């Protein structure tokens, strides 16, 4: 039986593969496979969000952050170790995994 | 109202826990925002908001002027923390009260705890204990009872023993508490039913966080240095101004993951990328062995053993006089800690309780035995007047109900007595928390939105003791993205035409449903239903149509297609391989279809503008052939039933279809006149007529078939299905009413397919089904197998598997016999779009 933890594990691995594929010089064929998996996750009711590059503040409870550097101005997410995963229930979403991110100011 | 206190709080140095005893059990309450059982004991005063827990901890190192943790160590002292954003001092009691108030917000179900048991370290003196008591009162509890942490942990253990029918009588043991940042050990004795802490030791700066840092410094850093060019790496990692400071935090997270994995495995893999000093991207992948971690931890574990030995010496005891060491605190999950303490002292290690929550759990057990003080001697209800005044507050909210932005501005006007009141806005999916802010006559917030969904925020008003005094306010609901009013709805379903193996015709599968809002994009994966050889004329047709998914493809309006011929292929595409079809429709209704053949990794794209109608003559001819075939089938049925009126109507349709076919055959493929559009219109009219003429019968057949399949599937799922399979089955049945109401044969068939598919997984593992399948479909038809010798031998093998009840053996035989069947017996499908 597939548990929520199993699903999160699989989605996190797909996210890792996507990150690695971006760095490879290939004609996006890996991205097509991972997109198919993302579509399947959506069908199963799971949405995956990559907050890389987004602004960060102390009200964002969708991420667990480690703040690097000595500036707290203009905080941005500079590294995403795990993405945000939400589960759809009717018209609304519920976050089932917070992103694990590194944040830096400028 | 309960007559006992019922709530217990472990107010920890690093993390805190709240537990509730009810119905003879203890429930550890989770943080509704993080869903964790523990709350970091950290408070942040950032700008105008107060944050407690995870968010506060994130900013603790970087914003020490406004964020405070570890204040438990200062309880009962005159020390104060100057908070820059407040421009004032706060006391450890104030900070503890904030943590207690936040923990109380975990309580759900409309219960408002007014009394609580709070745990304190065994080392706390009277002044420190009084300070904790005061913090509880400041948090709005009108009755506070204190309990020593080692006693609480022991109570959790004692209650666990009682569940197993064992009671603690006399004895003495150690409570070894190694948490995230602190270590405590206490000697506990029970005599005549009374539990007492006899002695204790501790170290306020030893815990799991130190172990993570050790893994980074002693194991990971040397690997980095061996692979890339890094100067003065440790300082560059750990200094806030260091060029690799971001990497340090990532490594700490990886180290913690590895540490947890090494508790149950002999090795843990670490994988990450990092740029070295010359900006060269380096990839790191290596394993950490459990033995490596253990070598690092041993000196620290030995320090804790030395503390225990000091306790034993002070109390003139031998370790053999102790019953066991009770392990508490998250770091005691590490097997080495358990092994080394047990071996070093030669005492049995007891890990029967959850080390993370045991103290809170024990506090709640104790709370369940403590009667509430009688009314009349209760402390003054300070918060009641505020509750009354809060009830009279006028709050008028203003915000956009729909938004295309990532954040939406929210404002509210508040009238009434606001003194001492705060508010908090939380997004109900757990992604936003405003923190506690003073309630002012006008409040403003930028609310972050999740994309493409309905975002719900809860607005609550809270008094100075942490009690929610207004939660009856309407929800703040904002729809983000495509549901914006500027979006255009689709006027009809958009479908893809696929082969239907059962009827040997084609059918429509909806990609987008009527009234979905543009723009839209979706990718579906379909199977190639026939082998297409490189260089040959065979084709795959991806046909996109607009019209109800419940009707025949020929009735719908073709709006775009891709034809992939064998001549376009770089290699053969084998039946059964996948094709990804992506359909996009822009807000201005431009259609883009792309198809990727996974076998050849080739992508085909076609873009259609909505003002260009696409009619392919070859496709039109094939569709009319298919309609003709269907009309003939229906005609045969009508003749069998001797339905004269139906025969007359179907005959008329058939004649018109034949005339149409003759006309198309006479046209050139590149005919430039608008005849093809006229012919397409006529075909659609005939298709609709055929569909309407025959749909009642089709619907009736589909319904009969559906109830048959349902009965059949239910039998197997009730008898052999798991709980999950039964739940999934019931979920499908919930759709039955709606599907039957719509009255579409295609939708009923689809539901039938899904029921069968679900029950297939169950049937396939039962001997009952396999036996029937084997006997009826495979073992009696020897003449149908091209290789009869091999088939005979497999049938013999199948019979003996059946005789010994070997499910796997029978499955294997059936699979192999199926593979041997000629394509026509497998139900191959030779005509159609080629995808399904």
pLDDT by residue (tens digit) across B415-451?
Answer: 888 888 999 999 988 899 999 999 999 999 999 998 8
Give the C-alpha separation, B358 to B199, whole Å. Answer: 20
**CB-based burial label for B711 (10 Å; 0-12, 13-18, 19+):** exposed
Chain A interface includes B525 (CB < 8 A): yes
| B246:A29 CB<8 A | no
Give the C-alpha separation, B650 to B236, whole Å. Answer: 84
Give the C-alpha separation, A62 to A64, whole Å. Answer: 7
Pick the more confident residue, B482 or B678: B678
- Asked which of B290-299, B583-592, B765-774 is least confident by mean pLDDT, the reply is B583-592
Say if residue B834's pLDDT is above 70. Answer: no
Give the C-alpha separation, B44 to B68, whole Å. Answer: 6
* Beta-carbon count within 10 A of B555 CB: 22
Across the interface, of B58, B247, B434, the residue whose CB is closest to A65 is: B58
Highest mean pLDDT pick, B269-273, B638-642, B815-819, B823-827: B269-273
| A66:B524 CB<8 A | no
CA distance B522 to chain A (A): 8
**What pLDDT does B664 receive?**
83
Q: What percent of chain B lies above the pLDDT cut of 90?
A: 31
b/e per residue, B503-527, with b = 16+ CB within 10 A? ebbbbbbbbbeeebbeebebbbebe
Contacts of residue B13, Cβ cutoff 8 Å, sequence gap at least 6: B41, B70, B72, B73, B179, B181, B182, B204
- The pLDDT tens digits of the residues spanning B488-499 come to 667 778 999 888
Q: Which of B58, B63, B102, B282 to mutate to test the interface with A (most CBs of A within 10 A)?
A: B58
Whether residue B179 contacts residue B13, with contact meaning beta carbons closer than 8 Å, is answered with: yes
Neighboring chain A residues of B247 at a CB cutoff of 8 Å:
68
Closest CA to B159 of B122, B192, B195, B213: B195
Token output for B211: 């172990």
Pick the more confident residue, B796 or B778: B796
Say if residue B610's pLDDT is above 60. Answer: no
Neighboring chain A residues of B402 at a CB cutoff of 8 Å:
none
**What pLDDT does B671 receive?**
65
Say if residue B380's pLDDT is above 70. Answer: no
Pick the more confident residue, B743 or B256: B256
Give the C-alpha separation, B311 to A40, whole Å. Answer: 59
3-state class (DSSP) for residue B84: coil
Q: Which of A23, A40, A59 to mutate to test the interface with B (most CBs of B within 10 A)?
A: A59
Give, to the nearest 10 degrees, the angle between helix B807-820 and helix B788-803: 160
Chain A interface includes B62 (CB < 8 A): yes
Token output for B287: 């394993």
Q: What is the DSSP string of B468-529?
A: EEE--SPPEEEEESTTSTTPPBPSS-EEEEEEETTTTEEEEEEEE-TTPBSSEEEEEEEEB-
- Asked which of B244-253, B336-345, B653-662, B665-674 is least confident by mean pLDDT, the reply is B665-674
Say if residue B831's pLDDT is above 60. Answer: no
Neighboring chain B residues of A100 at a CB cutoff of 8 Å:
253
**What pLDDT does B590 receive?**
79
- The pLDDT tens digits of the residues spanning B672-730 come to 666 777 788 788 888 878 877 777 777 777 888 888 888 889 999 999 988 888 888 88
Across the interface, of B249, B433, B454, the residue whose CB is closest to A59 is: B433
Give the C-alpha separation, B491 to B631, whole Å. Answer: 29
Give the C-alpha separation, B544 to B506, whole Å. Answer: 13
Closest CA to B207 of B301, B105, B295, B87: B301
Chain A interface includes B510 (CB < 8 A): no
Token output for B533: 């050889």
Pick the more confident residue, B689 or B609: B689
Across the interface, of A29, A36, A102, the residue whose CB is closest to B523 is: A36
| B246:A36 CB<8 A | no
Neighboring chain B residues of A93 at a CB cutoff of 8 Å:
429, 450, 453
Neighboring chain B residues of A8 at a CB cutoff of 8 Å:
none
**What pLDDT does B218 receive?**
94
**What pLDDT does B826 receive?**
61
Say if residue B484's pLDDT is above 50. Answer: no
Residue owning tokens 């990886």:
B254
Residues 437 to 476 of B: which have CB under 8 A from any A CB?
448, 450-451, 453-456
**What pLDDT does B379 receive?**
39
Whether residue B402 contacts residue B484, with contact meaning beta carbons closer than 8 Å, is answered with: yes
Chain B interface includes A64 (CB < 8 A): yes
- The pLDDT tens digits of the residues spanning B104-118 come to 999 987 788 889 999
Pick the more confident residue, B552 or B629: B629
- The pLDDT tens digits of the residues spanning B532-546 come to 888 888 888 888 888
Token output for A42: 């959506």
CA distance A78 to chain B (A): 8
Chain B interface includes A18 (CB < 8 A): no
Helices (runs of H) and strands (runs of E) counted in chain B: 21, 35
Rounded to the nearest integer, the mean pLDDT of chain B is 85
**CB-based burial label for B581 (10 Å; 0-12, 13-18, 19+):** buried
3-state class (DSSP) for residue B825: helix
pLDDT band at A91 (very low <50, low <70, confident <90, very high): low
Contacts of residue B476, Cβ cutoff 8 Å, sequence gap at least 6: B397, B399, B410, B425, B447, B456, B457, B458, B459
Say if residue B20's pLDDT is above 90. Answer: yes
Nearest residue of chain A to residue B63 (CA atoms): A72
Helices (runs of H) and strands (runs of E) counted in chain A: 2, 6
DSSP annotation of B29 = P
- Asked which of A22-26, B453-457, B469-473, B813-817 is least confident by mean pLDDT, the reply is B469-473
- Asked which of B163-167, B201-205, B468-472, B820-824 is least confident by mean pLDDT, the reply is B163-167
Chain A interface includes B519 (CB < 8 A): no
Residues 547 to 586 of B: which have CB under 8 A from any A CB?
580
* Beta-carbon count within 10 A of B309 CB: 14
- The pLDDT tens digits of the residues spanning B160-204 come to 877 666 666 678 999 999 988 789 999 999 887 788 889 998 887
Residues 389 to 448 of B: which have CB under 8 A from any A CB?
427-435, 448
If you count them, how many residues does chain B have? 836
Q: What is the mean pLDDT of residues B816-835?
A: 65
Whether residue B90 contacts residue B67, with contact meaning beta carbons closer than 8 Å, is answered with: no
| A59:B241 CB<8 A | no
| B448:A60 CB<8 A | yes
CA distance B432 to chain A (A): 5
Nearest residue of chain B to residue A27 (CA atoms): B601
Across the interface, of A32, A92, A100, the residue whose CB is closest to B253 is: A100
Closest CA to A8 of A77, A82, A88, A81: A82
**What pLDDT does B381 receive?**
42
* Beta-carbon count within 10 A of B747 CB: 18
**What pLDDT does B536 receive?**
85
Q: What is the mean pLDDT of residues A16-33?
A: 84
- The pLDDT tens digits of the residues spanning B69-103 come to 889 888 888 888 999 999 999 999 999 999 999 99
Give the C-alpha separation, A19 to A16, whole Å. Answer: 5
pLDDT band at B824 (very low <50, low <70, confident <90, very high): low
pTM, full prediction: 0.65
Give the C-alpha separation, B421 to B412, whole Å. Answer: 15
Q: What is the DSSP string of B749-762?
A: HHHHHHHHHHHHHH
Pick the more confident residue, B519 or B789: B789
Across the interface, of A78, A84, A88, the residue whose CB is closest to B246 is: A78
Contacts of residue B167, Cβ cutoff 8 Å, sequence gap at least 6: B158, B161
CB pairs under 8 A between A and B: 113
Whether residue B308 contacts residue B302, with contact meaning beta carbons closer than 8 Å, is answered with: no
Q: What percent of chain B lies above the pLDDT cut of 70?
A: 92
| B450:A39 CB<8 A | no
3-state class (DSSP) for residue B276: coil
Identify whether B519 is preceded by a cis peptide bond (ω within 30 of 0).
yes
Give the C-alpha separation, B833 to B823, whole Å. Answer: 18
Across the interface, of A27, A58, A95, the residue whose CB is closest to B429 is: A95
Whether residue B268 contacts residue B294, with contact meaning beta carbons closer than 8 Å, is answered with: no
Handedness of CA B502, B503, B508, B513 (dihedral sign): negative
Say if residue A43's pLDDT is above 80. Answer: yes
Highest mean pLDDT pick, A9-18, A63-72, B205-214, B399-408: A9-18
């Amino acid at each position: 039986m597939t548990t929520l933890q199993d699903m999160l594990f699989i989605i996190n691995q797909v996210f890792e593969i996507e990150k690695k594929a971006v760095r490879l010089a290939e004609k996006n064929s890996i991205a097509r496979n991972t997109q198919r998996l993302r579509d399947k996750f959506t069908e199963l009711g799971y949405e995956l969000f990559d907050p890389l590059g987004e602004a960060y503040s102390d009200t964002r409870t969708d991420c667990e952050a480690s703040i690097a550097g000595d500036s707290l101005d203009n905080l941005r997410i500079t590294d995403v170790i795990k993405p945000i995963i939400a589960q759809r229930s009717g018209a609304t979403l519920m976050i089932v995994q917070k992103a694990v991110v590194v944040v830096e100011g400028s | 109202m309960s007559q006992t206190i019922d709530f217990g709080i472990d107010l920890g140095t690093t993390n805190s826990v709240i537990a509730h005893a009810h119905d003879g059990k203890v429930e550890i309450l989770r943080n509704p925002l993080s869903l964790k059982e523990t709350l970091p004991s950290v408070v942040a005063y950032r700008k105008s908001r107060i944050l407690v827990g995870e968010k506060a901890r994130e900013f603790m190192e970087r914003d020490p002027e406004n964020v405070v943790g570890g204040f438990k160590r200062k309880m009962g002292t005159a020390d104060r923390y100057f908070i820059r954003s407040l421009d004032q001092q706060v006391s450890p009691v104030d900070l503890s009260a904030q943590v207690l108030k936040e923990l109380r917000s975990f309580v759900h179900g409309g219960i408002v705890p007014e009394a609580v048991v709070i745990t304190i370290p065994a080392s706390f003196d009277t002044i420190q204990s009084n300070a904790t008591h005061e913090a509880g009162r400041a948090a709005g509890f009108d009755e506070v009872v204190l309990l020593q942490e080692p006693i609480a942990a022991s109570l959790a253990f004692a209650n666990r023993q009682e569940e197993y029918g064992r009671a603690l009588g006399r004895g003495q043991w150690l409570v070894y508490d190694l948490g995230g940042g602190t270590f405590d050990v206490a000697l506990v004795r029970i005599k005549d039913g009374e539990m007492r802490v006899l002695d204790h030791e501790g170290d306020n700066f030893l815990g799991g966080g130190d172990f993570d840092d050790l893994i980074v410094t002693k194991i990971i850093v040397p690997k980095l240095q061996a692979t890339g060019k890094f100067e003065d790496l440790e300082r560059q990692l750990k200094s806030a101004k260091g060029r690799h400071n971001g990497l340090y935090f990532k490594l700490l997270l990886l180290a913690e993951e590895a540490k947890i994995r090494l508790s149950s495995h002999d090795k843990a893999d670490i994988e990450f990328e990092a740029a070295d000093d010359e900006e060269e991207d380096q990839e790191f992948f290596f394993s950490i062995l459990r033995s490596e971690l253990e070598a690092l931890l041993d000196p620290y574990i030995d320090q804790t053993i030395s503390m225990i030995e000091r306790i034993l010496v002070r109390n003139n005891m031998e370790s053999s006089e102790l019953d066991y060491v009770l392990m508490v605190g998250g770091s005691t999950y590490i097997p080495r800690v358990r092994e080394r303490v047990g071996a070093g002292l030669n005492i049995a290690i007891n890990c029967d309780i959850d080390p993370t929550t045991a103290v809170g759990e024990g506090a709640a057990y104790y709370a369940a035995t403590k009667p509430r003080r009688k009314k009349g001697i209760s402390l003054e209800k300070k918060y009641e007047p505020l509750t009354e005044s809060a009830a009279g507050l006028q709050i008028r909210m203003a915000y956009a109900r729909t938004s295309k932005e990532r954040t939406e501005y929210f404002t509210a006007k508040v009238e009434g007595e606001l003194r001492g009141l705060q508010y908090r806005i939380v997004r109900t999916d757990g992604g936003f928390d405003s923190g506690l802010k003073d309630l002012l006559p006008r409040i403003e917030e930028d609310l972050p939105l999740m994309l493409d969904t309905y975002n719900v925020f809860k607005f609550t008003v809270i008094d100075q003791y942490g009690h929610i005094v207004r939660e009856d306010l309407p929800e703040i609901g904002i729809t983000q993205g495509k549901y914006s009013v500027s979006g255009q709805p689709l006027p009809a379903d958009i479908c893809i035409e696929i082969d239907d193996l059962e009827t040997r015709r084609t059918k429509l599968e909806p990609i987008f449903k009527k009234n979905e809002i543009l723009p839209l994009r979706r990718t579906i994966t379909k199977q190639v239903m026939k082998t297409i050889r490189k260089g040959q004329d065979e084709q795959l047709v991806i046909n996109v149509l607009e019209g109800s998914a419940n009707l025949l493809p020929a009735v719908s309006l073709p709006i775009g297609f891709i034809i992939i011929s064998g001549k376009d292929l770089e290699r053969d595409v084998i039946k059964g391989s996948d094709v990804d079809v992506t359909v996009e429709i822009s807000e201005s209704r431009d259609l883009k279809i792309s198809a990727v053949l996974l076998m050849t990794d080739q992508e085909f794209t076609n873009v259609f503008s909505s003002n260009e109608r696409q009619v392919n003559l070859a496709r039109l001819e094939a569709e009319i052939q298919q309609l003709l075939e269907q009309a003939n089938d229906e005609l045969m049925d009508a003749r069998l039933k001797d339905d004269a009126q139906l025969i007359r109507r179907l005959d008329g349709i058939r004649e018109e279809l034949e005339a149409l076919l003759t006309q198309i055959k006479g046209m050139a493929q590149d005919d430039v006149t608008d005849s093809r559009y006229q012919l397409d219109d006529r075909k659609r009219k005939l298709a609709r007529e055929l569909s309407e003429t025959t749909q009642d019968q089709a619907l009736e057949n589909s319904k009969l078939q559906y109830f048959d399949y349902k009965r059949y599937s239910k039998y197997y799922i009730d008898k052999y299905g798991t709980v999950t399979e039964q739940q999934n089955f019931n979920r499908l049945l919930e759709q039955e009413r709606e599907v039957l109401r719509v009255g579409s044969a295609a939708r009923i068939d689809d539901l039938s397919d899904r029921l069968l598919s679900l029950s297939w997984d169950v049937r396939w593992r039962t001997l009952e089904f396999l036996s029937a399948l084997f006997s009826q479909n495979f073992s009696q038809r020897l003449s149908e197998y091209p290789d009869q010798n091999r088939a005979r031998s497999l049938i013999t093998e199948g019979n003996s598997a059946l005789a010994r009840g070997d499910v796997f053996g029978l499955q294997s035989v059936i699979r192999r016999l199926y593979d041997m069947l000629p394509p026509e017996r497998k139900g191959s499908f030779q005509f159609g779009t080629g995808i399904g």
